[in-house]
Amino acid sequence: MASALDAGVVKPDTVCGTCSGPVTIFDQTVRSWNDKYYPGSTMSEVILHSDNVGMVFVSRQLGKKKMLQSISKFGFGEKTGIDLQEEDSPTLRPEDEWRDIDIATAAFGQGIAVTRIQMLTAVNALANLGKLIPPKVVTGISQGREIKNQPPVRRRQVISPQAAAAVTTMMINGVEKGEVRYYKPQGFLIAGKTGTAQVPIQGHYDKDKTVSSFIGFAPADAPKFTMLVTLRDPQTSPWGSTTAAPLWFDIARELFRYYRIPPRL
């Protein structure tokens, strides 16, 4: 969505032309996560409803070439460079091996493998107005009274500040109006997004197991932290909105206290 907004192929109020039902691509059909459909949805509403079909529409507007460029631009397919040992990075397949269905499902996070630190780094770019900043654990090394700071990290602008702000507004709307609104701490502006993915096993997906997640940053208008919570095979519910999101908000409450960030009245 961020890259589509940045490229100008959609706007927050662009109406989805294919959101009235499932989308068939050759012999495969893409459905919404709950089999509910929202004809005439705007792009903001696509994010609000976590609409897989809506994201297929976005990927088609962006096109294969720009879609793949977007995936690489946000750092997927390469190591983040975090100063920890043995960082891994799933590789991306060559461009000519991406089928139409692969592009479509990648738009809503299916069929593409990424690490948690890659996800965190990508969303952190939205919090930093489009600047992708490699993560660091150590900022400086103390040697007696002298503190030797680590070299500054390389930053690159992956989308415009305007596009990052537009996606942030969509994510805020998703928190304020979506299913997670029942769990969020009141008085804080939070930009976030739920995720529910099937677990891959031996070349296919397990229909009974999921990885639920919630990722976001706060306060959304002056971010102090970006956080990702993932739960593999949650037992109480398969959905990120009712498992990972409440835990994210519980941790956020502690971080608001730690950083002494007061709620807004």
User: Over the stretch 144-198, which tens digit does the pLDDT of each residue have?
Assistant: 777 777 776 778 999 999 999 999 999 999 999 999 999 999 999 999 999 988 7
Confidence (pLDDT) at 39: 96
Widest Cα–Cα separation across the chain: 67
**Tokens matching residue 260:** 């002494």
Which region among 15-29, 93-107, 121-135, 205-219 has the lowest average model confidence (pLDDT)? 205-219
The total number of structural domains that make up the chain: 1
Give the three-class secondary structure for 10: coil
With bands split at pLDDT 50, 70 and 90, how would you rate the model's confidence at 140? Answer: confident
Confidence (pLDDT) at 19: 96
Confidence (pLDDT) at 206: 76
With bands split at pLDDT 50, 70 and 90, how would you rate the model's confidence at 265? Answer: low
The DSSP result for 40-98, as a single string, is T-BHHHHHHTT-HHHHHHHHHHH-HHHHHHHHHHTTTTS----SSTT---PPPPPGGG-
Domain that holds residue 216: 178-265
**Segment 81-96, tens digit of pLDDT:** 998 988 999 999 999 9
Mean pLDDT within 41-69: 97
Whether residue 222 is contained in a domain is answered as: yes
Confidence (pLDDT) at 144: 79
Whether residue 237 is contained in a domain is answered as: yes
**Segment 191-230, tens digit of pLDDT:** 999 998 877 776 677 777 889 999 999 999 999 999 999 9
Q: How far apart are CA 36 and CA 11, in angstroms?
A: 23
Confidence (pLDDT) at 151: 73
Q: Which of 156, 167, 153, 75 is nearest to 115 (CA)?
A: 75
Whether residue 227 is contained in a domain is answered as: yes
Mean pLDDT within 52-75: 96
Question: Which of the 8 DSSP states describes residue 260?
Answer: T
Give the three-class secondary structure for 265: coil
Whether residue 195 is contained in a domain is answered as: yes
Whether residue 45 is contained in a domain is answered as: no
Q: What is the mean pLDDT of the chain?
A: 93
Whether residue 248 is contained in a domain is answered as: yes
Whether residue 185 is contained in a domain is answered as: yes
Residue 50 has pLDDT above 90, yes or no: yes
Confidence (pLDDT) at 203: 67
Whether residue 230 is contained in a domain is answered as: yes
Residue 145 phi, psi (nearest 5): -90, -10
CATH number at residue 232: 3.30.450.330
